[in-house]
Amino acid sequence: MATTRTDATRTPATRTSAGSAALRRRRTATAGFHLGAGALAVLWLLPIALVLVTSLRSFDDIAAHGLGSWPRSFTLDNFRLAWVDGGQQRALINSLLVTVPCVLVTLALAAMAAFALSRYELPLRRSLLLLMLGGNLLPPQILLIPVSKLSELMGVHDTLTALIGVQIGFGVGFYVFVLHGFMRALPAEIQQAAVVDGAGPWQIFWRIILPLTRPALAALSALSFTWIFNDLLWAITVLRSDAKMPITAALIGLQGQYVSMWNVIAAGSVIAAAPTVAVFLRFQRHFVAGLDLGAVK
């Protein structure tokens, strides 16, 4: 009996000690996680900060003290050289003329195709989805020569129209596959209720299905804008004239024009990255919501 009473009196203290130890372990694990994540964030942001600082330094400062030295003078003239003399202004306009229509047209076509394939029992719809997915699994390098020859035969070689057509053709399959999963997961009762109320297929798509897939469309808009705007491979495949090159190809020319002026090259890189950063920040909330919804599905 005495032993039983002793064990009973020690049990609360033992539980308190165990709880304190578990709390310390959780706090230690949380602190370790934050320290590790902070260190990774610093490693990730360090090159970006180096490019930003370099883009503001003068050439004399870098030449006298080295690229990795502490900056001693700052100037905005590097952005003027990259923007005007380096052709970044014209190249940025070319990139926007290609990217904006590609994003709008590709997502519009993908949304309509995904609606038809996910909400209606069409013949061979599974085969069509697998065909679209299989097209995206092909390495683009093996299609460079066929695409270049085909654009020459069609008479659109060295035009922005050819680049827009290539980007749309290679992007629509992946977007259809993604949007198909979102639209297929929507309850069928919503569409049935709309049919009972007399809504047609276009009204169902425009007023019901499309608003419900807004998070997915926003996420795909941010991703497609980034992919198309930063593309270099297809640009140098179907384009030849320097006046028609997008911003990524213009960066290569900028590096050849200002070989040792790393401040001007860094300024050009900042200009090239600014639109994609702005788009991501604008659609960040919708982008995260789209990823969360996709993870749940």
Residue pLDDT, tens place only, 35-68: 999 999 899 889 889 999 999 998 888 888 888 7
Task: Please name the residue ranges forming H helices in 138-232.
Answer: 144-153, 160-184, 188-196, 201-204, 210-212, 214-229
Residue 96: which CATH number? 1.10.3720.10
SS3 content of the chain, % helix, strand, coil (to 5): 85, 0, 15
| Phi, psi angles (nearest 5°) of residue 57 | -85, 155
CA distance 85 to 79: 10
Residues 174 and 241 placed together within one structural domain of the fold: yes
What integer best gives the mean pLDDT of the chain? 85
- In percent, the amount of the chain with pLDDT more than 90 equals 35
**In the chain, what is the straight-line distance between the N-terminal and C-terminal CA atoms, in Å?**
58
Query: Mean pLDDT over residues 4-16, rounded?
Result: 55
Residues 117 and 22 placed together within one structural domain of the fold: no
Residues 19 and 88 placed together within one structural domain of the fold: no
CA distance 271 to 212: 35
Residue 5 pLDDT > 70, yes or no?
A: no
Residues 165 and 262 placed together within one structural domain of the fold: yes
For residue 93, the enclosing domain spans 77-296
Residue 223 inside a domain? The answer is yes
Interval 170-220: pLDDT, tens: 889 889 988 988 888 888 888 888 888 888 889 999 989 998 888 888 888
Residue 200 inside a domain? The answer is yes
Residues 6 and 86 placed together within one structural domain of the fold: no
Confidence of residue 225 (pLDDT cuts 50, 70, 90): very high
Residue 86 inside a domain? The answer is yes
Residues 14 and 132 placed together within one structural domain of the fold: no
Residues 36 and 82 placed together within one structural domain of the fold: no
CA distance 297 to 67: 48
Residue 275 inside a domain? The answer is yes
Residue 71 inside a domain? The answer is no
Residues 114 and 261 placed together within one structural domain of the fold: yes
Best CA proximity match to 230, nearest among 142, 133, 106, 98: 98
Residue 66 inside a domain? The answer is no
Give residue 114's pLDDT: 92
Please state at what angle helix 262-282 crosses helix 214-229, rounded to 10 degrees: 170
Residue 2 pLDDT > 60, yes or no?
A: no
Contact 230, 219 (CB under 8 A): no
Contacts of 232 (CB under 8 A, 6+ apart): 248, 249, 252
Count other C-beta atoms under 10 Å from residue 275's C-beta: 18
Q: How many domains does the chain divide into?
A: 2
Residue 220 inside a domain? The answer is yes
Contact 254, 264 (CB under 8 A): yes
Task: Give SS3 for 287.
Answer: helix
73 vs 92: which has the higher pLDDT: 92
- Residue 60: both structure tokens together: 């004399």
Residue 63 inside a domain? The answer is no
Interval 131-182: pLDDT, tens: 887 777 888 888 889 999 999 999 898 999 999 999 998 889 889 988 988 8
Contact 278, 285 (CB under 8 A): no
Give residue 15's pLDDT: 61
CA distance 217 to 221: 6
Give residue 292's pLDDT: 53
Residues 229 and 283 placed together within one structural domain of the fold: yes
